[in-house]
Amino acid sequence: MCFFVRFAPDLWSVCCVWNIFPAQHFLFFPAAAWGHSPSCRSERHNRLRERMRTKTMKQKENKKHTWGRKVLSLAVLMGMLFSLSACGHEHTWVDATCTEPQTCSECGKTEGEALGHTWVDATCTAPKTCSVCGETEGEALGHTWVDATCTEPKTCSVCGETEGEALGHTISEWTVSKEATCSEEGEETGTCSVCGETVQQTLEKLEHTPGEWVVTTEATSSSAGVRTQYCEVCGEELATEEFTLSDEEIEEQYKENCTEYSYDTIARDPDEYYGTYGKYKGEVVQVLEDGDDVQLRVNITEGKYSYSDTIFVFYEKKDGESRILEDDIITLYGINMGTVSYESVLGATITLPCVYAAYIDIA
């Protein structure tokens, strides 16, 4: 209440005049204590005070204090004090930061202190930095480089960051400790002239020595064969491929599969040799041509002066081949087909061994 009287003497007087608060509840200070001289009191004030005292005396006599009025008066007075001493609104606080205390966003009132920065020490690449707001101070420390060696690149001794590559060993002379082959790697040893370390390195395998192709599955005139190539040194399989026969190879293979039979053999037991491959040499005694289809009668048993014992031959001439003439000496290769019969000019039935020739060589 002293605060109120000190800063609002006029209001105190009005309260007393209106009988808002009994005068005996106030502390009265001399005017000098308020910072005023006695001359500042007007007669009006004195009259008001006198009237107040008179009323107070009457109230004491009547002893009829109304406490409800006291409470109401106190509430009004406190409200007036609040209006003089505060903002008159509920603060909207903004949290304190590293550099600012908690602050009301409406009136700007502050409370407490700024939090202060939470510093993280500077590193090689970043300055001293606040972990909360990100503010920095000073500069990065920079790397502390250790020179590259034979086995390690240039390296920062603080953070471990590297730059460039290791220098590598300097070997002036190598000694072979194990020779390389086409199946195993070799090894050689040397000493580094810079760091003195003994270094070993691997010698690459030697190239294989390819050998001849080996046929593992024979080719025929109608199907491909398979052949494999091996290393002559270690025997490792190097390659496998399919292959087909050329026309010359097919012919050569066919002729190799043919067997020389005598006339008596195929004439006496034609069924037994039916479908076998035969080879015959003889003299052509008759030629019948119908386009490329040729029928021959050939004597295949060689005598002292001439050939005898006739067989009947069917042959399909190939493009570019020469004609076969009577009295030609030929070698034929073909399939034994049993016997064939035909009627002679005199009406007799003639039966001869029969061959379907695939190839005919003219001597």
Instruction: Give percent helix, percent strand, percent coil of the chain, each to the nearest 5.
Output: 20, 35, 45
Report whether 104 contacts 122 (CB < 8 A): no
Residue 31 has pLDDT above 90, yes or no: no
Residue 221 has pLDDT above 90, yes or no: no
Looking at residues 46-62, what average pLDDT do you find?
A: 68
The span from the CA of 256 to the CA of 279, in Å, is: 10
For the entire predicted model, the pTM comes to 0.45
Which position has the higher pLDDT, 82 or 270? Answer: 270
| Highest mean pLDDT pick, 1-10, 311-320, 341-350 | 311-320
Where does the pLDDT of residue 172 fall: very low under 50, low under 70, confident under 90, or very high at 90 and above?
Answer: confident
Tell how many helices (H) and how many strands (E) occur in the chain: 6, 21
> What percentage of the chain has pLDDT greater than the value 70?
78
Residue 339 has pLDDT above 90, yes or no: yes
Report whether 241 contacts 226 (CB < 8 A): yes
Range 112-124 burial, b when 16+ CB lie within 10 A, else e:
eeebebeeeebee
In the numeric block, which tokens belong to residue 24? 């005996």
Quick one: pLDDT at residue 306? 93
Where does the pLDDT of residue 341 fall: very low under 50, low under 70, confident under 90, or very high at 90 and above?
Answer: very high
Quick one: pLDDT at residue 220? 87
Q: Name beta bridge partners: 334.
A: 278, 357
Lowest pLDDT segment from 2-6, 187-191, 278-282, 295-299: 2-6
Beta strands in 99-236 (DSSP E): 102-104, 110-111, 119-120, 128-130, 136-137, 145-146, 154-156, 162-163, 175-178, 186-191, 198-203, 210-217, 225-231
Quick one: pLDDT at residue 61? 60
| Highest mean pLDDT pick, 55-59, 152-156, 351-355 | 351-355
Lowest pLDDT segment from 34-38, 153-157, 328-332: 34-38
Residue 235 has pLDDT above 50, yes or no: yes
The span from the CA of 200 to the CA of 179, in Å, is: 13
- Residue type at position 159: C
**Residue ranges in 225-272 assigned as alpha helix (H):** 247-256, 263-268
> What percentage of the chain has pLDDT greater than the value 90?
55
Looking at residues 343-353, what average pLDDT do you find?
A: 91
Residue 271 has pLDDT above 70, yes or no: yes
Residue 201: its H or E element:
strand 198-203
Looking at residues 214-238, what average pLDDT do you find?
A: 92
**CA 305 vs CA 91, 301, 328, 329: distances in Å:** 145, 11, 15, 13
DSSP 192: B
Identify the burial level of 261 via C-beta atoms within 10 angstroms of its C-beta, where 0-12 means exposed, 13-18 middle and 19 or more buried.
buried
- Residue type at position 85: S
pLDDT tens-digit map of 180-212: 999 999 999 999 988 888 899 999 999 999 999
Where does the pLDDT of residue 71 fall: very low under 50, low under 70, confident under 90, or very high at 90 and above?
Answer: low
Looking at residues 53-71, what average pLDDT do you find?
A: 62
Where does the pLDDT of residue 81 fall: very low under 50, low under 70, confident under 90, or very high at 90 and above?
Answer: low
- Residue type at position 305: Y
- Which residue's structure tokens are 């005292």? 53
Looking at residues 7-15, what average pLDDT do you find?
A: 42
Residue 66 has pLDDT above 80, yes or no: no
Quick one: pLDDT at residue 65? 53
Looking at residues 132-142, what average pLDDT do you find?
A: 89
Alpha carbon 174 to its chain's center? 39
Three-point CA angle 221, 225, 228, nearest 5°:
155
- Residue type at position 361: D
Residue 314 has pLDDT above 90, yes or no: yes
Residue 330 has pLDDT above 70, yes or no: yes
